[in-house]
Amino acid sequence: MESSRTTRAAEPADEKRRSGRSVAPEAAASLEGALAAAPAPVARRGAAQPLTQRRAIALQGAVGNRAAAREIGRMVQRHAEGAELPDKGEQVAELQEKEQANPEAELQGPPQEGEAPEAEAQEPEQEAPQTEPQPAQQAAPEATRTKTEEKAQVGEAKTSGKAFQKQQKLTPGAMSLATAQKILQGAFGGLTDIVPGTIVILADQPACSAKYDEVCIADGITRPDGSAWQAGDCAKDDAAAGVQTEGFAWKGVVYVNGQTTLVTATAHEILHNNAHGGFRGLAGETFNEGTTELLARRALKAAGVKVPSVTAYPDQVKFTEQLEKVVGEKALKEAYFTNPWALAVKFEELKGTGAWDALKLLAEALDEAKFKKALAAKKAK
Amino acid sequence: MPDRTKSRGDTGLSREIQRFSMQALELAKAVVDGSATEADRQEARELAEQLPLLAAKSRELSEAYRAGAAKTLADARLDLAFVAADGKLPSSTRIGWYIKEKGEGQGG
């Protein structure tokens, strides 16, 4: 049993994705061609990813607009195989330009199970804990910003940070979605437009347990013994395990304890909502959580919020900081928000083919000694 | 002067907790992926039995590690229950994001 656990814990997350998803052979072949300049393992990894809107944008960044348009065109081809479109090149390029202008509308499919519901309450402007779901804004605007916008957003972030800091002295608690969104927009608005997602901040930990029970009861969920779920069952299960539920997810909504002692809690969850869909698969769980927490901490600090040394995911943050020293902050941030595959490419440029997968395994196993050795290693010839 | 012995002990226990939680997460991801087996559910039950002892040990951690460890174990508790219920229970937030990302990948 122990060995199977070890294997599972160390297994790269994208291995399962690779085996569990089908990619049209022609799409895989064309992507391999597009990523031919990358080291072999990275190119293979890229080929195994399904085409998403974000992936399409990442592909544009990696190989250029026209080549990406050609690849996208092949993947979504719907006319009879072999029947060439008239003026195909121009038509594909034109479609691609429209996708750039309004990417979500062009490429987003119907809502999937687990995605945030569309019709939710409006984004509040006040700092008080919210009790209703917030909207997941579906259409993200342009990812870049002008200098003027940057100045305004950074200013708003600092104003929000100071207001939060002041309020913490009176009534400590979780940051509101509005404040966290402004702070993160100030920090990362040059890479992506931060959308809060469907996150509900509950009053406190007992409210968190009560909400868990509420959704279970509402959905007719039964206990392991077959009896109906009842109020108090979550707290009972927590007590038996010696823990307290601080947050949970159900049907696309994330619920967070509003009295959490972790100051980054709200920003951390919002960042997950804005991370590139392929980052977790490429980077693994250690770097996924480590980068999320590291970015949340830095954004809060930059906005003037006092961030204590106490952190969620201390080991993951530590491993990520060490990785960042090798690849650089810019590469890490860009990978997180816009192009995960570039992180592996960059690392393998520095350390040699296959080095990324090896490093990721060590990070997943939290094997610090071997991880440090791998980071310090010279490029394999 | 910081107590280095205590710090090393904290690091070791913190890692043990993180690895434990990672195992719970991977089992829950298998449920989301539809690849969980009866052996996985059995493993989840066994891990759940270890949780109270680990939670008790976590309270000995210094403050710098305690809050993070508490959250990590609470997430593990939710994920193990999620596995035992074959996905028919609310999950940890991290599994919530995993479900969302999978939806984006498949819907894209």
Which of these, A364, A163, A329, lies nearest to A356 by C-alpha position? A364
Report the pLDDT averaged over residues A37-64.
Answer: 43
Which of B61, B79, B89, B106 to mutate to test binding with chain A, by most A CBs within 10 Å of its CB?
B89
- Predicted local confidence at residue A21, as pLDDT: 32
Pair B75, B23: CB distance under 8 Å:
no
- Residue owning tokens 């994208």: A14
The least confident of A179-183, A240-244, A311-315, B94-98 is A311-315
In whole angstroms, what is the distance from residue B104 CA to residue B108 CA? 6
CB-nearest partner of A254 from B88, B89, B93: B93
CA distance A1 to B4: 34
What residues of chain A lie within 8 A of the CB of B67, using their CB? 261-262, 310, 312
Q: Give ∠ CA B108-A132-A194 in degrees, rounded to 5.
A: 45
Burial of A28 (0-12, 13-18, 19+ CB in 10 A): middle
With beta carbons less than 8 A apart as the criterion, state whether A377 and A351 touch: yes
Lowest-pLDDT range, A129-138, A211-220, A346-355, B32-41?
A129-138
Q: Which residues are CB-contacts of A138 (< 8 A; sequence separation ≥ 6)?
A: A104, A108, A118
Going by their DSSP bridges, the two strands A253-257 and A199-202 should be labelled as parallel
- B108 against A259, higher pLDDT: A259
Contact A311 B68 (CB under 8 A): yes
Provide, as residue numbers in chain A, all residues whose Cβ is less than 8 Å from the Cβ of B52: 240-242
Task: Decide if B90 and A273 are in contact by the 8 Å CB cutoff.
Answer: no
Taking 70 as the threshold, does the pLDDT of residue A216 lie above it? yes
Asked if A44 is an interface residue toward chain B (Cβ–Cβ < 8 A), one would say no
pLDDT higher than 60, residue A86: no
Query: Please, what is the average pLDDT of chain A?
Result: 72
| DSSP-based three-state secondary structure for A70 | helix
More confident residue, A84 or B91: B91
Beta-carbon separation of A16 and B29 below 8 A? yes
Region A81-107: mean pLDDT is 40
For A16-20, A293-297, B17-21, which range has the lowest pLDDT when averaged over its residues? A16-20
Asked if B74 lies within 8 A of A238 by C-beta distance, the reply is yes
Residue A140 three-state SS: coil
pLDDT, tens digit, for every residue of B53-79?
A: 999 999 999 887 888 899 999 999 999
Inspect the interface and report whether the beta carbons of A247 and B92 lie closer than 8 Å.
yes
Beta-carbon pairs below 8 A across chains A and B:
183
Neighbouring C-alpha atoms within 13 Å toward the C-beta of A175: 34
Can you say whether the dihedral through the CA atoms of A267, A269, A273, A275 is positive or negative? positive
Averaged pLDDT, A178-184:
94
pTM confidence score:
0.70
Whether B29 shows a pLDDT value over 70: the answer reads yes
Binned at pLDDT 50, 70 and 90, residue B8 comes out as: low
Q: Is the pLDDT of residue A95 over 90?
A: no
Asked if residue A223 has pLDDT above 90, the reply is yes
Comparing A123-132, A321-330, B96-105, the range with the smallest average pLDDT is A123-132
- If you ran DSSP here, which 8-state letter would residue A289 be given? H
Of A107, A278, A314, the CB nearest to B68: A314
Tell me which residue in A50, A115, A248 faces B100 most closely, judged by beta carbons.
Answer: A115
**Letter for the amino acid at A58?**
A
Q: What is the ipTM of this complex?
A: 0.92
Band (pLDDT 50/70/90 cuts) for residue B11 is confident
Cα(A106)–Cα(A100) distance, integer angstroms: 9
Of residues A265 and A379, more confidence is placed in A265
Mean pLDDT across A80-93: 43
**Structural contact between residues B97 and A42, judged by C-beta atoms closer than 8 angstroms:** no
Burial of A223 (0-12, 13-18, 19+ CB in 10 A): middle
Average pLDDT over residues A122-138: 38
